[in-house]
Amino acid sequence: MPDDLAIDVHGMTKRFGALTAVDHVDLAVRAGEICGFLGPNGSGKTTFIRMLCGLLRADEGRGTCLGYDVVTESETIKRHVGYMTQRFSFWDDLSIAENLDFVARMYCVRDRRQAVRETIERLGLTERRHQLAGQLSGGWKQRLALAACMIHQPKLLLLDEPTAGVDPKARREFWEEIHRLAGEGLTFLIATHYMDEAERCHRLAFILQGHLLVHGTATEVIARSHLVTWSVSGPGLVELAQRLRNSSGVEQAVSFGTMLHISGPDAEALERAIAPFRTKPYEWRRIDSGLEDVFIHFMSQSQDGVAS
Amino acid sequence: MRRRYEFSPRRFWAIVVKEFIQMRRDRLTFVMMISMPLMQLILFGYAINSDPRHLPAGVLLGDHGPQARTLLHAISNSTYFNFVRELDTEQEAREAIARGEIQFILNIPENFTRDLLRGDRPTLLIEADGTDPAAIGNAVSAARLLLNTAMRHDFQGPLDYLAAQRDAIDLRIQTLYNPEGITRYNIVPGLMGVVLTMTMIMITGLGITRERERGTMENLLSMPAHPAEVLIGKIIPYILLGYIQVALILGAAYGLFHVPMVGSLALLLAATFVFIVAHLAMGITFSTLAKNQLQAVQMAYFFFLPSIMLSGFMFPFRGMPRWAQDIGEILPLTHFLRITRGILLKGNGLPEVWPQLWPIALFAALALTIGVKRYRRTLD
Ligand SMILES: Nc1ncnc2c1ncn2[C@@H]1O[C@H](COP(=O)(O)OP(=O)(O)O)[C@@H](O)[C@H]1O
Ligand SMILES: [Mg+2]
């Protein structure tokens, strides 16, 4: 096993009664890498992350996290991993400073007071450090949570939808920070729905209904989909989209402002489908498929596979 | 390489500090926990009466003559008294009543038959345990009535001169421990156990389910904490809160209700510790079963109701049917009531308290084992 892998797990499986929330997922993330963990709601992202940090016992699977066994050494893993829960899970009735102080004590952080003070300064919350965490706005809560789960200087951060409900500016700052930290050698596994965030990751893993569908860099993922996309502009796009959606060879017809993106997995079938409309005043152009097109493609493919 | 992590005093202390801050912020709960004993003190200032029978009694039989036997029979037939043992010495009798094995001592003096036949009005002494006046009141009146009526058919033939004579026997009732029969003396020390039963289970149950309901448990579990650090750290502030309640009630008992405090306060506080731990452990167990705070409160009530009904707080213990007494014997409150009344009113020491203390300790050990076993380190 190469020792520059921060996460290296195989066959991770978790069942809740009859439901298999995570089904034999393999994942390898290199140290210093930002891995985006994508998938619609209920696809098993949270469950997978919880298994990595010992919050849920895996029914099957084995592997390592920072070189420690995920099954037998979860207590050690907890010491070196920072986990940011999907829902804000710090204590609303403790102040910012008290929350950080508590976390620092729990991890037996050396020079605790100084670590807490520095964290508060870095957050720019020195003035508001006595404010109760429950009174913070969504964006500040996320920043506090991130700062708190990093106070013990973990080597691996597991972030579960860290930017849900955060405004675009705060999101941008958040990602700047993540990249800066990755530059310092920290490894990230970040669950998200946002495609613009996916594009900021070094590597992506897409999970659906507990199955890992694709894993690789954004370009690899797009290339592997073999999805062909055309963009069209002109009048009456809504009507055009309606008609194209029903023709064979077309998988998606999605509006993007004054444009329509038409995609399908088979280039020839797609061209046949759009041929009748390749007239004036429509302007057609072949473009690269976006990540979003690709993920919707994977999702619809997998739904076809599942007889339901 | 698999390392085991031991209990860390630093992390334990982190939890204690956090719980204290949270308790301080949660004003409403704090105020309720403090005002609950005060409210109950006022509400239960009034006694609840009933008519318990078959109260255990012992007899000091100084005379074995036929009249003494008849008398014993008659008293027994009244159904108020149940003679469970014959006592040899006054000392033995006092010990039995202090331990609560018997509630009455019937003292038939030497030469009872001879004096009766002579018309010398022999003395019949009934000593009663006054710590629970509601329980003994009716029995005492019944005994009085009996001597004047039931005995009469025995005074026939050659003895009918006695029947004509009123008060052939000189009945003396001596109430021990609470001679004026003040019900408050019984209620107020009992209240201590009742308030602790109610609040200690509830506050622990709430404290743990709240973490789960708010999602902070996930955060706590993702930290490298030993369950013992979390559980013990959490209950320390509650133990302190329990002692604040105890101080309030004892203060009121002494200052407002003038309840005598004969025994050792240190012994009482030590016994209280075992009692508090028993209920905190119960609260931990309930919190592992409850899905949310509402359920935790419901479970606390589920335990509180039989405790208050079957422990001898609401109704005199001996007045309850057998099955109810059997359930009552399992409940820590039953034993704790006997301990508090025993220490405060009778001045009992450890030898008398011990038979009531170990059942509470056993209960605490069992509840704690189940609670800690069921407490999960994962979210499964
Ligand atoms: N504790 C649990 N008990 C039962 N089912 C669960 C539990 N946690 C998650 N699930 C189910 O497992 C599936 C995956 O959930 P989750 O991992 O939260 O997905 P995601 O984070 O991708 O939205 C969902 O269908 C969810 O309902
Ligand atoms: Mg999730």
| Candidate from A37, A45, A47 with most ligand 1 atoms within 8 A of CB, to mutate | A47
Q: What is the pLDDT of residue A1?
A: 42
> For residue A80, what are the CA distances in angstroms to A73, A160, A252, B120, B242?
11, 17, 43, 93, 38
Q: What is the pLDDT of residue B159?
A: 58
Among candidate residues B352, B190, B184, the one with its CA nearest the CA of residue B263: B352
For B181, the 3-state DSSP assignment is: coil
CB contact under 8 A, A108 and B25: no
Superfamily of domain A5-216: P-loop containing nucleotide triphosphate hydrolases (3.40.50.300)
Q: What is the pLDDT of residue A304?
A: 62
What are the tens digits of pLDDT across the range B138-147?
A: 777 777 777 7
% of chain B beyond a pLDDT of 90:
28
For ligand 2, the distance from its centroid to the CA atom of residue A38, given in whole angstroms, is 10
If you average pLDDT over residues A280-303, what whole number do you get? 84
B212–chain A nearest CA distance, Å: 10
Q: Does B294 touch chain A (CB under 8 A)?
A: no
Name the CATH code of domain A222-303 (choices 3.30.70.250, 3.40.50.300, 3.40.50.2000, 3.40.50.2300): 3.30.70.250
Q: Return the structure tokens found at A275.
A: 């041929």
The per-residue pLDDT of chain A, averaged, comes to 89
Taking one residue from A and the other from B, the number of pairs with CB-CB distance under 8 angstroms is 74
CB contact under 8 A, A73 and B216: no
Among candidate residues A36, A58, A34, A63, the one with its CA nearest the CA of residue A47: A58
What are the tens digits of pLDDT across the range B257-295?
A: 788 888 899 999 999 999 999 999 999 999 988 888 888
What are the tens digits of pLDDT across the range B199-221?
A: 999 999 999 999 999 999 999 99
Q: How far is CA B107 from the centre of its chain?
A: 27
Residues of A in contact with B2 (CB under 8 A): 72-73
Sheet with B55-61: strands ordered across: B81-87, B55-61, B104-108, B123-129, B170-176
For ligand 2, the distance from its centroid to the CA atom of residue A86, given in whole angstroms, is 6
For ligand 1, the distance from its centroid to the CA atom of residue B211, given in whole angstroms, is 20
Distance CA B69, CA B219 (A): 74
Q: Does B51 touch chain A (CB under 8 A)?
A: no
> For residue B158, what are the CA distances in angstroms to B63, B117, B151, B263?
21, 10, 15, 53
Q: Does residue A163 have its Cβ closer than 6 Å to ligand 1?
A: no
Q: What is the pLDDT of residue A157?
A: 96
> Is pTM, for the whole model, over 0.90?
no
CB contact under 8 A, A55 and B221: yes
In one-letter notation, the amino acid at residue B380 is D
> Dihedrals φ, ψ of A53, to 5°?
-100, 20
For B56, the 3-state DSSP assignment is: strand
Reported as a pLDDT band with limits 50, 70 and 90, residue B45 is: low
Q: Does residue A44 have its Cβ closer than 6 Å to ligand 1?
A: yes
If you average pLDDT over residues A174-195, what whole number do you get? 91
Among candidate residues A213, A212, A194, the one with its CA nearest the CA of residue A290: A194
Q: Where are the alpha helices (DSSP H) in chain B?
A: 9-25, 27-43, 66-77, 90-99, 112-118, 133-149, 160-164, 183-214, 216-221, 227-255, 265-289, 293-310, 322-330, 332-341, 350-374
Reported as a pLDDT band with limits 50, 70 and 90, residue B375 is: confident
Task: Decide which of B240 and B40 is more confident.
Answer: B240
Reported as a pLDDT band with limits 50, 70 and 90, residue A307 is: very low
Q: How far is CA B30 from the centre of its chain?
A: 26
Q: Return the structure tokens found at A119.
A: 């964290």
Question: In terms of DSSP bridges, do strands A34-38 and A187-192 run parallel, antiparallel, or are they unpaired?
Answer: parallel
Among candidate residues B25, B221, B236, B223, the one with its CA nearest the CA of residue A95: B25
- List the domains of chain B with CATH numbers: 55-176 (3.40.1710.10), 183-374 (no CATH)
The answer to which of B1-10, B30-39, B63-72, B93-102 has the lowest mean pLDDT is B1-10
Q: Return the structure tokens found at A244.
A: 């194209």
Q: Does residue B48 have a pLDDT over 60?
A: no
Looking at chain A, which residues constitute the CATH 3.30.70.250 domain(s)? 222-303
Reported as a pLDDT band with limits 50, 70 and 90, residue B181 is: low
Question: What is the helix, strand, coil percentage profile of chain A, to 5?
Answer: 35, 30, 35
Task: Decide which of B48 and B8 is more confident.
Answer: B8
A126–chain B nearest CA distance, Å: 20
If you average pLDDT over residues A171-200, what whole number do you get? 90
Task: Decide which of A242 and B169 is more confident.
Answer: A242
| Candidate from A46, A48, A207 with most ligand 1 atoms within 8 A of CB, to mutate | A46
If you average pLDDT over residues B64-75, what whole number do you get? 78
For ligand 2, the distance from its centroid to the CA atom of residue B178, given in whole angstroms, is 65
Looking at chain A, which residues constitute the CATH 3.40.50.300 domain(s)? 5-216
Q: What is the pLDDT of residue B47?
A: 44
Task: Decide which of A152 and B179 is more confident.
Answer: A152
Q: Does residue B343 have a pLDDT over 70?
A: yes
Q: What is the pLDDT of residue B209?
A: 92
The answer to which of A109-118, A142-151, B29-38, B180-189 has the lowest mean pLDDT is B180-189
Residues of A in contact with B17 (CB under 8 A): 102, 105
